[in-house]
Amino acid sequence: MIIDDPQVKAEVEAVFARYNDAIVNNDVATLNELFFDDPRTLRYGIGENLYGHAEIAGFRAARSPVGLSRTLERSVVTTFGRDFATASTLFRRPGAPGKIGRQMQTWVRMPAGWRIVAAHVSLIDDPASKEPDLAAVAPFDEMRTAEDRSVRPTRRSPAGSKRCRPTCWIIADARPSSFSAAWELPSQSTATPLRRNA
């Protein structure tokens, strides 16, 4: 069995592109055509579990055509032999900021052409949109040198600064054991405020 035969891969990539074009334009006829017309065809969606081509077609007919525009990322098509393939992609929609969609499809070559026999779509929080958890990187006790240990934490921030939770300090010659308290700086030390969103 040949995996990713160039000719077969090109065929599936073309039909996958046709499917995505039908999605964003709400071309229901093409979407119904590309799903295998069989009661064993499955589609697990974001908010629905559909069994059989009839249920999938019913979902398409009732779906709102608004907000279907999307951009794809990291699309991967893999073919196995000449008649079987998988197509996976991430997608983003303008109407769902902070979310990322995931889509996986199983394609099989039928007498009428390539058809989807199983599909799964899900939506999750976009990891790239989350702010870093400063508490997760707070412990530095095991990394502190003897010189570091001579600097003691206090409840006050460096002179002239306002202490607030979203701010931590980069200190030239001392590492804090916790970002929950600032360090009292030696006379030669410098501190630079670092905002979370920098």
Asked whether residue 1 is domain-assigned, the answer is no
Same domain, yes or no: 67 and 18? yes
pLDDT score recorded for residue 157: 47
Q: Tens of pLDDT along 40-99?
A: 999 999 999 999 999 999 999 998 888 889 999 999 999 999 999 999 999 999 888 899
Q: Tens of pLDDT along 127-141?
A: 887 665 555 554 544
pLDDT score recorded for residue 32: 97
Q: Which of 93, 110, 127 is the last residue of a domain?
A: 127
8 three-state secondary structure: helix
Cα(85)–Cα(106) distance, rounded to whole angstroms?
6
pLDDT score recorded for residue 108: 98
Q: How confident is the model at residue 172 (pLDDT cuts 50, 70, 90)?
A: very low
Q: Which of 70, 105, 127 is the last residue of a domain?
A: 127
Residue 72 belongs to domain spanning: 6-127
Q: Alpha carbon of 150 to those of 123, 139, 144, 182: distances in Å?
A: 50, 17, 10, 14
Q: Are the CB atoms for 34 and 116 separated by under 8 Å?
A: yes
Same domain, yes or no: 109 and 173? no
Same domain, yes or no: 76 and 115? yes
94 three-state secondary structure: coil
| pTM (2 d.p.) | 0.65
User: What Rg value do the Cα atoms of the chain yield, rounded?
Assistant: 27
pLDDT score recorded for residue 33: 98
Same domain, yes or no: 82 and 14? yes
* pLDDT beyond 50 at 154: no
Domain of 85: which CATH number? 3.10.450.50
